[in-house]
Amino acid sequence: MSTPITLDEIEAHAKLRLPKHVYDFYASGADEQEALARNRDAFKRLVIRPRVLKDVAQIDLSTRILGSSTQLPIGLAPSAMQKLAGGDGEVDTATAAATMGLNMTLSSQSTSSLEDVANIRNKVNSAVASESTPPFWMQLYLYEDSKKSVSLIQRAEAAGYEALVLTVDTPVLGNRLSERKTAVVLPPSMSLPNLQHSTDPTAKPQPSVNRRMMNARTAAEAREILDASGSTMHSSSLTWESTIPFLRSVTKMKIILKGIMTPEDAALAVEHGVDGIIVSNHGGRQLDAAASTIEALLGLVAVVNKRIPIILDGGIRTGTDVFKALALGADFVMIGRPVLWGLAYGGVEGVQEVVNILERELSRTMALAGIGDLKELSKDALGVITKDSFGIAKL
């Protein structure tokens, strides 16, 4: 295949290189995969209203998130088990992020230890004698017995992670058909070093409780699995009243909630003092009937009213998508699957190529739209394709 010049072409390369069940594990959504498709398709309803005779000789794409500077308004989202995609997995992703001055969030289900990933950033910053890379963040699923999560939280804080990204949209796993048909099992050479494991080195790896729950055929079978499991890694008992205070009691890290999709929950996030929210439907892997993230964004922006940062992930495949999300009011965006395709395509260099493509596309879109600085972006730059009549409506 020719050298890729778009993210879709990088994905095509990755699809050829990855085992089918690994590609399907990363690429698939839940049930009929409608939310997965909506995440991308909804961007197409938005069009840009370009302004002309503007000085766009210099385009500034730098921004700040949670008080830290970053070269682009794009961060690398948490994705599990990245060594399955290629190379050194999360270490390669961290190397790309650190050398490009980007934010990265590490999955708690990573195949690299959180300490090894943090050390990559520290080494890069030491080499250039400055804090050129924004602090990394640590993603977390709270155990049903929340005390079991404390050691991981403390490890992340000790390693220098700035924020805890709590995923809140997984009381149970979505109905991921590809995983149910072909389970993804780590080879003996890989592990999940951030999670608790059996102390018996000869113990045969077992599917997680949550994945066994996904395969339960009856309510009775599901209850039997839960009763026998003790504490699951994805708590279904999280509440606004208990969860945020618990996290505040065990860490000084900032708290970001990932999986906010309604204005009601955005308002509660502000009320309960979290430091930021991520508009996310888990890449279409949870509730298949959920809205796309870009459609949900506008209502959340109105409620939050700039009191805390709003980050968006889901469906971003071009620099124009980034432009649209920021114009609608997102402060920052994250990319997930494209990072995995970059790893499969070429390790560190593959992830860097993904970012470079997005940067060039975003810079070009800004120039053609007549906007030289991200601070100038607003929803006035966008129109929406009307369904019932001909023409474009302003948002």
Q: Give pairs for 214-222: CB < 8 Å, separation 24+.
A: 214/172, 214/173, 214/174, 214/175, 214/176, 214/179, 214/180, 215/180
CA angle 127, 128, 134 (to 5 degrees): 105
Amino acid identity of 245? Answer: P
Q: Residue 269 — pLDDT band, cuts 50, 70, 90?
A: very high
> Taking 60 as the threshold, does the pLDDT of residue 272 lie above it?
yes
The residue from 21, 234, 272, 282 that is catalytic is: 282
**Predicted model pTM:** 0.92
> Taking 90 as the threshold, does the pLDDT of residue 335 lie above it?
yes
Positive/negative CA dihedral, 208, 210, 214, 220: positive
Contact between residue 152 and residue 158 where contact means Cβ atoms under 8 Å apart: no
Task: Look up residue 265 and give its two tokens.
Answer: 């929950």
pLDDT of residue 198: 43
pLDDT of residue 201: 47
pLDDT of residue 235: 78
CA dist 257 → 109, 118, 198, 243, 244 (Å): 17, 21, 29, 11, 10
Contact between residue 341 and residue 10 where contact means Cβ atoms under 8 Å apart: yes
| Helix spans in the chain (H) | 7-17, 20-27, 34-41, 90-99, 114-127, 150-159, 177-181, 209-214, 219-229, 240-250, 263-271, 293-304, 319-327, 337-369
Contact between residue 324 and residue 43 where contact means Cβ atoms under 8 Å apart: yes
> Taking 70 as the threshold, does the pLDDT of residue 202 lie above it?
no
Neighbouring residues of 211: CB distance < 8 A, sequence distance ≥ 6: 173, 179, 183
Which whole number is the average pLDDT over 336-359?
98
Which whole number is the average pLDDT over 246-255?
97
Give the whole-angstrom CA distance, residue 283 versus residue 219: 27
Contact between residue 392 and residue 57 where contact means Cβ atoms under 8 Å apart: no
- With H, G, I as helix, E, B as strand and everything else as coil, classify residue 256: strand
In which region does residue 370 sit, left (phi positive, over 0), alpha (psi from -120 to 50) or beta (all else)? left
Q: Residues of the chain with pLDDT > 70: what percent?
A: 90
The correct CATH number of 7-183+234-394 out of 1.10.10.10, 1.10.10.60, 3.20.20.70, 3.30.465.10 is: 3.20.20.70
List pLDDT tens digits, range 124-166. 888 865 667 899 999 999 988 888 899 999 999 999 999 999 9
Task: Look up residue 355 and give its two tokens.
Answer: 């970012």
Give the whole-angstrom CA distance, residue 136 versus residue 94: 9
Between 2 and 354, name the one with better pLDDT: 354
Between 76 and 184, name the one with better pLDDT: 76
234 has catalytic annotation: no
Q: Residue 199 — pLDDT band, cuts 50, 70, 90?
A: very low
Contact between residue 110 and residue 117 where contact means Cβ atoms under 8 Å apart: yes
Task: Look up residue 90 and give its two tokens.
Answer: 């999360």
Q: Output DSSP code: residue 380.
A: G
List pLDDT tens digits, range 213-227. 666 777 776 666 565
CA 375 to chain centre: 23
> Taking 50 as the threshold, does the pLDDT of residue 210 lie above it?
yes
Which whole number is the average pLDDT over 97-103?
95
Contact between residue 239 and residue 147 where contact means Cβ atoms under 8 Å apart: no
| Helix spans in 134-208 (H) | 150-159, 177-181
Q: Residue 361 — pLDDT band, cuts 50, 70, 90?
A: very high
- With H, G, I as helix, E, B as strand and everything else as coil, classify residue 302: helix
pLDDT of residue 215: 67
* Average pLDDT value for the chain: 91
Other CB atoms within a 10 A radius of the CB of residue 259 amount to 21
Which whole number is the average pLDDT over 361-382?
97
CA dist 129 → 62, 101, 200 (Å): 20, 13, 43
